[in-house]
Structure 1
């Protein structure tokens, strides 16, 4: 039994996926053999912003092995235009052709597609496609986008300001006027990209006789993807099957239907032959979805003790050239949840999102990644300005256990979280007071140490009510089915799309718990729209709460049906039987005893002896369930990071990293720990190194290879110490809260706060990422440490 009384949930079981994935037996898109498949290669714009004067594909079409070359004009009649236009105040609609017809909007924009008998011929032919461009001035920075005379990225828009939302709650101005001090802080997060090991790719196979498209693609959201693909092709959903096999990472990059994938589908239908496409790493860095790039400013009114009286937030976000998601979505979430675990009644925000001549933005693991750095970084700055201990300021402003459920200024409700407890847990683990003594001693020796603390409230599972309240189209529900076969084995499915999270392991444990069988009896089926029920897929951290929760509830329905049959067979009351480890137990003589019925016995009756079923019970054991989660489910964690700063080189070395996490009921400890390690590593890597850099004059991508886009390795990532402090959520199935993105948020905040703690004696503050040695040296140049600076 686990600590919470569960038998399967929370058990330490090896990931069942690993046997095939680690031995090279996984089945990714490139492992799928399709006889006679053609290969696609895209001609991409070398310019960030240019009119397309002409495209001449004559030379390419004449090359041996080339089957077709398609331009935007060729593809347009066979697809609908992409339109992103939710009815949200302050949001401009955006439209786009499948391939550009009139102009390109970023370097790497696809302008033509070459189809050939193999990839190499297609690449060679792509170089023979001649495109004449009329180069236009590029919009490469947020300031350029907002300039009064800025070139328009999208000619159909009135300006480059895609979205502008603002709101004020409480008495912000009055609190500012009456404050002991108003502290202003700036934060800048650089543009990054998802960098999955497996780049984007797909295989389209059109059956002209059946008028049916089989589309194999690595996607996080199989059913919404199918709906969009069918709609853009003017097909019914019954004419399209989407299959997503093993996927080598997504992190948000594999949610949208991309223009390249849609073009491949059109090509397969026109040629009536299978067509496949795989982007290379350079294409992935140049033309796939990107993320982050926020400039933020906080103004916080405080009293003399550091108590927060009001918060004013400004966000500027660069959304890139195309809108595959509502433009308000990413930054708006930051604005709605920024106050997190702190008591702040007076709050105002202003959020502006611009378009630019860069790759379009989309969600990346923790689209609200900057949130906790904004809040805890602001608190650190308050402590520094007032000469107070940063932990004392946190304790003063943190919500108490008695405050929950707590309605934030924006109307979001926090419940069943423990940020004060995780903060105290992580402080005890690092021995906060002892570290401050060690830090002071090190400074006297000329060594520079820094400690960063960050407490995270992670929004994990967005219910439909949240989307409605935020003005964002979409559903938060999930769907599942559980089927017990005549032999007693259990098949189950849910609408998630796995991209390496370990769903097959964790979800099997949820089903096993709900049904009362060993998890080894359960097989999870994912990623096939003809098999899985229509669900909302994998995004955010909804896999555990929405996916696992729905399966758990569905399995409980199955258990009740099984026990009804068992009780009827045994001629005992329903409350006298239970299911455990795949066998029916009967309560007799004050104890539970094996009743001599296994799940296989019940299944044989249900399928093969329907006359023996209870009255009114239909043959078979197949169950379906949909589940609508609460408007928002939160988990929480606290992170502590200790760094050593080399003031000569600007180098940062992480000496210790500790995280205390409460993510509710844990389905699989192995999966959860892996997700925590991965998320923290991603946050540290992004803060230390990763940067999609563009030339501010031309809009050229300066980081188009892994020699330029740096990623942290095992050398830079420290040993990560995890402290489990899980408490159940009382509003979700089994008490699940979800997790997977909070580690990114906490790592960013803890590392940046640690670096600024180290920099404090020098009177400078790092406001931008990545915190490269060059950047830190620029801050430290000519500075001397002052002993009395905090």
Structure 2
């Protein structure tokens, strides 16, 4: 029996219900709900990457008609508390930041002052009238200069710019080196990215002085944690704060933290006693919202002559920027912990350094561990190149198979219910590698550069509470839900997630419908309102289906139990055995068949609410059920990506000829939504690998703060993506769900790099950094030509 065959609502390709309002232009984003006359907020941003603030003169700005006030870091420090991050992790320094800088700015775009005015135009004009005296300081614009002896300190409360340093070793690496045929070193440089959501950051804060209550309307992925941060830093109780998230035009991890601008707006609304609205422009978003990635990895693989990896060492250095909105080790540690992924490597060590620089602070971006699969599969490709072996065979000899599972990785992470060997073989078969190699040989004879890449991904998903505890990171991975059947039989449900474009409303309704026994069309899911939704940990890390959908499914099953208990009483049965709810109607098992009973959900709801004295003993009135669920510490989905490319050696252009993904993401709640997520993740990964890059010069000036400079792939640059479904359920999660929202990025980054290097192999050069821009590829081709000329001369 297939996974889908076990379910009636889960697995249906239902259209996304939110698309109707979006296509009609009836979505309600933040700027659609700002009443006329609400005062507007703008920020003055630092032109220097590193400088003392000597003085701020706002006289001219305050005198401008329509300006309500100009405020600085010293003002905000009176109304807010600093953010302090000090988890007890060895090698991680505690850090603290004020709401706005008081003594110095740390990156180009740091918010220095804030203007409140009657409209955006006046506020922008007033920002230009503020005069700030700066004393420029030496800038550290990269990790090498930041780690150099005597380097200027980004955070002067720390001894140096190495904010986090952790090491780990399992096995005997020295012995593995000694017995190896070769030790192969490979370098991987993933460039700095930013998220580029269609809708930039913004918020509307409204302080009600009479009720002493703050209502914060903001596009956020994590309504409840954000409420807690707001309340804590404003000195309020959580009952004094309501966070409401309307429709959100994309986030990709950028809308998790409580940023300084949003906290400033809330504090000023309370101080001024009036509602305030802020919306950043695109340049602010690219310059100062949040950045990600910029990770350099070096692997040293001790290998046998047949390509079997005996031991693997990883050195990782991450440029974290100027401020820490998250524990600095968080994202880098995940990379190191899961690096070996689908391969059998018992002897493994890592050394992870996270460095502060004078750049915008880093945060999670869809697939914070994006570099992982490129590093691991890129290392295997390097082994194959160096030893003259077939890249597929090198993967096979190192791959985990069904008999190896469950497999405890060297770091202690447990891989179970994955099918990485199967997806590898599925992709190899679908791409027909032997036929490709024949075409490749003919192309090379013609002087053309054609390549094939493979990349197998093991994607971490659930991030249960035990994972955070083991990693030494404060927080929880649980989720919460409620399901309420109204007296009319209508079904409402809620969960602590908040969608930011993923299409949650339909698959989450399907999860409820499956658990309860009704049609998904009859279920309404409420999210994004802290006074309505139960306290949950929000949307991040591919937990929407596993944690969110799983919790709703379990909660709905609990509701069904009560519904059937009431139905049994109404049918004069002793218990509910032999009863089920299907499409909102109670059926009874008789003579090996399900027979209608004539009872519908509305009949049972009427009894539950309006005739409680007729309920069975110990059954309370009403049909309102809640449930919390803490998923496994970590579960994994997996996939193998395959990609054919051709490189124009004269322009450096990369043409993607074919792209496919053999995917196992467990039980699929809604195939349409999953396919869309897969396509979107692959597109995002390819865009990042080929085009996107945040660029700073040596003085710390951001040179990429427009979409003319920060390039994003469009439909014309992206290939058709073939999806090969190979789904198997997880045995530890509700309904067998695994999750899959980030693996497409991991696979895309790795597979395009591996394909490009396969194409470049005849030239004897290797791409070790991204983006794989035409300029970079041309430089590699020129390097190969120069090498050939020197060899010929010799």
Question: Normalising TM by the smaller chain, what interval?
Answer: over 0.9
After superposition, the C-alpha distances for 1:279-330 in whole angstroms (9 at most, x for unaligned) are 0000001101000000110000000100010000000000000000000001
Mapped contact 2:4–2:667 kept (Cα < 8 A): no
Does the CA contact (< 8 Å) of 1:67 and 1:115 recur in 2?
A: yes
* CA distance in structure 2 between the partners assigned to 1:694 and 1:707 by the alignment: 15
- 2: CA distance, partners of 1:544 / 1:672: 10
Match of 1:635 among 634, 637, 649: 637
Match of 1:668 among 663, 667, 670: 670
Counterparts of 1:423 and 1:587, CA distance in 2:
44
Q: Offset of 1:178 from its aligned partner? A: 1.1
Question: 1:62 and 1:263 mapped to 2: Cα distance?
Answer: 22
State the match for 1:503 in structure 2: 504
Q: What is the CA–CA distance in structure 2 between the aligned matches of 1:33 and 1:110, rounded to whole Å?
A: 24
Partner residue of 2:171?
A: 170
What CA distance in whole angstroms lies between the structure 2 residues aligned with 1:592 and 1:667?
Answer: 25
Alpha-carbon contact 2:205-2:269 (below 8 Å) kept: yes
Cα deviation for residue 352 of structure 1 reads: 0.3
Deviation at 1:35, TM superposition (A): 4.2
Partner of 2:145: 144
What is the Cα deviation at residue 590 of structure 1? 3.4
Matching of residue 393 in structure 1 with residue 394 in structure 2: yes
Residues 17-51 of structure 1 deviation map (CA, whole Å, 9 limit, x = unaligned): 10001221000000003243100000000000000
Q: State how many pairs are aligned.
A: 785
Aligned partner of residue 509 in structure 1, secondary structure? helix
Deviations 1:725-759 (A, max 9, x none): 00000000000001100000000000000000001
Whole-angstrom CA distance in 1 between matches of 2:178 and 2:771: 35
Counterpart in the other structure of 2:562: 561
> Given the alignment of the two structures, is residue 685 of structure 1 paired with residue 687 of structure 2, yes or no?
yes
Superposed displacement of residue 473, structure 1: 1.2
- Give the corresponding residue for 2:469: 468
CA distance in 2, matches of 1:725, 1:588: 37
The match for 1:107 is 108
Does the 8 A contact of 1:36 with 1:274 survive in 2?
no
Change (3 A) 1:101 1:70: same
SS in 2 for 1:783: helix
Deviation at 1:131, TM superposition (A): 0.5
Question: Is 1:591–2:582 an aligned residue pair?
Answer: no
Give a deviation string over 1:200-230, Cα, whole Å, max 9, x none.
Answer: 0000000000000000000000000000000
2:93 alignment partner in structure 1: 92
Q: Pairwise mapping of residues 141-540 of structure 1 onto structure 2 (< 5 A)? A: 141-540=142-541
Q: 2:608 corresponds to which residue?
A: 606
Unaligned runs of at least 5 residues, structure 2: 789-794
The answer to whether residue 42 in structure 2 is matched with residue 33 in structure 1 is no
Deviation of 1:782 after TM superposition, in Å, equals 4.9
Stretches of structure 1 that go unaligned for 5 or more consecutive residues are: none
Structure 1 residue 649 corresponds to structure 2 residue 651: yes
Deviation at 1:675, TM superposition (A): 0.5
Q: CA deviation at 1:616?
A: 1.0
Deviation at 1:196, TM superposition (A): 0.2
Aligned-pair distance for 1:3? Answer: 3.1
DSSP 3-state at the match of 2:354: strand
In the alignment, is the contact (CA less than 8 A) between 1:558 and 1:623 conserved in 2? Answer: yes
Deviations 1:384-405 (Å, cap 9, x if unpaired)? 0000000000000001101110
Instruction: Measure, in 2, the Cα distance between the counterparts of 1:618 and 1:337.
Output: 47
**Displacement of 1:4:** 3.2
Q: How far did 1:2 drift?
A: 7.2
SS in 2 for 1:670: helix
Aligned to 2:136: 135
Q: Contact 1:2–1:11 (CA<8 Å) still a contact in 2?
A: no
Matches of 1:723 and 1:564, distance apart in 2 = 43
Could you give the per-residue CA deviations for residues 608-656 of structure 1, whole angstroms, max 9, x where no partner exists?
Answer: 0101110111100000000011110100000001111011111111111
Quick one: distance in 1 between partners of 2:592 and 2:103? 80
DSSP-derived class of the 2:716 partner:
coil
Residue in 1 that maps onto 2:581: 579
Distance 1:101 1:47 in 2: 15
Q: For 2:37 and 2:706, how far apart are their aligned partners in 1?
A: 32
Q: CA deviation at 1:117?
A: 0.4
The residue number in structure 2 matching 1:47 is 48
Residue 704 of structure 1 aligns to a residue whose secondary structure is coil
1:469 is displaced (CA, Å) by 1.1
The answer to whether the 8 Å contact 1:405/1:416 transfers is yes
Taking the aligned partners of 1:782 and 1:643, their CA distance within structure 2 comes to 21
Distance 1:4 1:194 in 2: 38
State the Cα distance separating 1:587 from its structure 2 match.
Answer: 1.9
